[in-house]
Copies of this chain bind each other. A is one copy, B any other.
Amino acid sequence: MNDELPALPWERSRRRTAPARIPLTRDRIVDAAYVVLDREGYEKLGMRQVAAELGVAVSALYSHVSSKDELFELMYVRMFDDWDLPEPDPEHWREQVAEYARDGRARLHKHRDMARISMGGIPFGPETLPYMDRILGIFRAGGLPDRVAGAAGDVISTFIDGFALEESMWETRRRESGQNSWAEMRETLERYFEELPPDRFPHLVALSNTMFENSNDDRFDLGIEIIIRGLASFVEEVEKTEAGGSSGTSAPEDERP
């Protein structure tokens, strides 16, 4: 054999690189995808970038992942890892729902543009079903009629995703417009609204203060509060006859911030 002969110049060297020390797995691919997502953003997240992040050929990914869509789906279900929803507690369903919502938003914020990936994720896949069941359980434990519990899931989850998506789009615009900090961006926006012609946009101008003086967190919490109060108005007072009776049908009194 001529193994030890110098490689002929026109042939590519036989053993080119170190042979993939660590084996490629779906998990490593998802990890790399998150690294790329955080560094480059949703628009630049592609199979080539993920492969480059792993130091691997693009086509190698397709042995473990059937398409970009599936990769995104894997990223989506990754969002639910280690998410422990509490045992439904009839007495504290409001707090449990509020905390679920805040957790959801926090998880969406853990990675840049994550809301873009979350939208379009299948909410009833095998991995996410347990969480959907749990949140429905919390609603039902709270006394929501079944048909309201179903709609409650729609309202809550569209709000969480939609709010986070809007935040991530503002963040993108901020980045693209060269504004360095959120405070700077917010000031720019507030000025924009304040300088609108008040005769044509009286309400926007009037609200420009309150809309921007509160943080996004406050606005999110308020949105959740609105939804929870609306849900509470449907709670059937089936029993709970005696002490500690909560409010009437349409307007519950208050709750913990």
Number of copies: 2
Q: What 1/0 mask marks residues of chain A from 148 to 173 whose CB sits below 8 Å from any chain B CB? A: 11111011011101110110010000
**Which residues of chain A in 118-174 are interfacial with respect to chain B, using CB atoms and an 8 Å cutoff?**
119-120, 129-130, 132-134, 136-137, 140, 146-152, 154-155, 157-159, 161-163, 165-166, 169
Which residues of the other chain, B, contact A152 by a CB distance below 8 angstroms?
226
Q: Which residue of B lies closest to A155 (CB)?
A: B223
Question: 11 A-B residue contacts at CB 8 Å?
Answer: A119-B165, A140-B203, A140-B206, A150-B210, A150-B211, A155-B226, A158-B163, A162-B162, A226-B227, A230-B231, A230-B233
Least distance between A227 CB and chain B CB atoms (Å): 6
Question: Judging by beta carbons under 8 Å apart, are A154 and B223 in contact?
Answer: yes
Q: How far is the CB of A147 from chain B (nearest CB, A)?
A: 5
Contacts of A166 in B (CB 8 A): 154, 158
Rounded to whole angstroms, the CA-CA distance of A8 and B47 in the bound complex is 48
Question: What is the CB-to-nearest-CB distance from A59 to chain B, in angstroms, rounded to a whole number?
Answer: 23
Q: From DSSP, what is the main secondary structure of chain A's interface residues?
A: helix
Count of chain A residues with a beta carbon within 8 Å of a chain B beta carbon: 56
Say if the beta carbon of A44 comes within 8 Å of chain B: no
Q: Which of A182-228 contact B (CB under 8 A)?
A: 196, 200-204, 206-207, 210-211, 214, 219, 222-223, 225-228
